[in-house]
Amino acid sequence: MDWMYHLSDWLQLLTAGHEPWDSYARYLPQLLEGAWVTLKLVVLSGIAGILLAIPLALLRVSKNPWLWVLPYCYIFFFRGTPLLVQIFLVYYGLSQFESIRNSGWLWDQVLSQPYWCAIITFSLHTAAYIAELFRGAIQSVPRGEVEAAMALGLSKAKQYRKIILPRAFGMILPAYGNEVILMLKGSALASTITLLDLMGATRNVISRTYMNLEFFLLAGVMYLVIAAVIIGLFRLLENFFNAHQRATHLPVKQLDAQLQDEHLRDNAR
């Protein structure tokens, strides 16, 4: 990304050698590249985690113990052990097995690479938390909505696809946003397996400049900016999936004529 180095050169001209601004400008490309790696880790693992969490949650709500016991053990393990231990188990632990080291491309291209080990670990970790969120949301879907779907003759699969899961997703959005923010902060642990994410790039720069306080503060500001963007995106998603919660705040004139009864007129603002 040549634009980052052009921006760095331009900022160095503005700082005129004044510290710590000159060092900020000089090492800005490395920090931005680390921030981009962090953002990819959070987004990819968040998507993979929610895709894995949906079947886990569906199995957890089953009344058959043969179906829910394994997801329960999985969730219990990943929620009950530190993320750092999980990263080390994937990155260092799997290499202890000769069969994995001889697995060809799976070892050469995936399991021996810190980037993919971090994504695998974060995906498995966040899937456990999201699965529990989904389980609670599925069980909290109003019974009347499920009965209405049954009255329309929808099959069990269509009930989940068209009614229960979309409703549950809207319910978990605030808590899911918090989980993504926690995952963003937890992504700093990826630097412990030599990955140059934002924290890894920051530590690399500090080893050259010995400016600990200055660059840790800058890294904190960059994490805050990323977190602010994520929070804003989740606010938009909440407004889209939970639009019904704002219905009483619509002007009465914008409502369908059949809905303009006295109760809504009294509560509309």
**Residue pLDDT, tens place only, 52-93:** 999 999 999 888 888 899 999 999 999 999 999 999 999 998
Q: Model pTM greater than 0.85?
A: no
Extract the tokens encoding 144: 């009347």
Cβ pair 12, 25 in contact under 8 A? yes
What mean pLDDT is predicted for residues 159-166?
87
Cβ pair 154, 163 in contact under 8 A? yes
Task: Write down the H helix ranges in 102-192.
Answer: 105, 114-140, 143-151, 156-158, 165-186
- At 152 the three-state DSSP class reads coil
pLDDT, one tens digit per residue, over 164-193 is 888 888 888 888 999 999 999 999 999 999
| Domain assignment of residue 140, yes or no | yes
| Domain assignment of residue 49, yes or no | yes
Label residue 32 by pLDDT band (50, 70, 90).
very high
Mean of pLDDT over the chain: 86
Cα–Cα distance list, 147 to 11, 61, 144, 264 (Å): 62, 18, 5, 25
Q: What span, in angstroms and rounded, lies between the C-alpha atoms of 135 and 151?
A: 24
Cβ pair 125, 182 in contact under 8 A? no
What mean pLDDT is predicted for residues 97-119?
87
| Closest to 46 (Cα-Cα) out of 161, 181, 231 | 181
Q: Residues of the chain with pLDDT > 70: what percent?
A: 89
Residue type (1 letter), 48 = A
- At 215 the three-state DSSP class reads helix
Q: What span, in angstroms and rounded, lies between the C-alpha atoms of 268 and 252?
A: 6
| Domain assignment of residue 9, yes or no | no
Extract the tokens encoding 131: 């699965």
pLDDT of residue 56: 93
| Domain assignment of residue 102, yes or no | yes
pLDDT of residue 45: 94
Domain of residue 175 covers 28-267
| Domain assignment of residue 91, yes or no | yes
Neighbours of 266 (CB within 10 A): 9
| Closest to 37 (Cα-Cα) out of 186, 201, 192 | 201
| Domain assignment of residue 82, yes or no | yes
Mention every residue, 6+ apart, whose C-beta is less than 8 A from residue 77: 128
Give the CATH number, domain containing residue 262.
1.10.3720.10
| Domain assignment of residue 68, yes or no | yes
| Domain assignment of residue 194, yes or no | yes
State the burial class of residue 92 (Cβ atoms within 10 Å of its Cβ: 0-12, 13-18, 19+).
exposed
What is the tally of structural domains in the chain? 1
Neighbours of 227 (CB within 10 A): 15
pLDDT of residue 91: 92
Cβ pair 1, 29 in contact under 8 A? yes
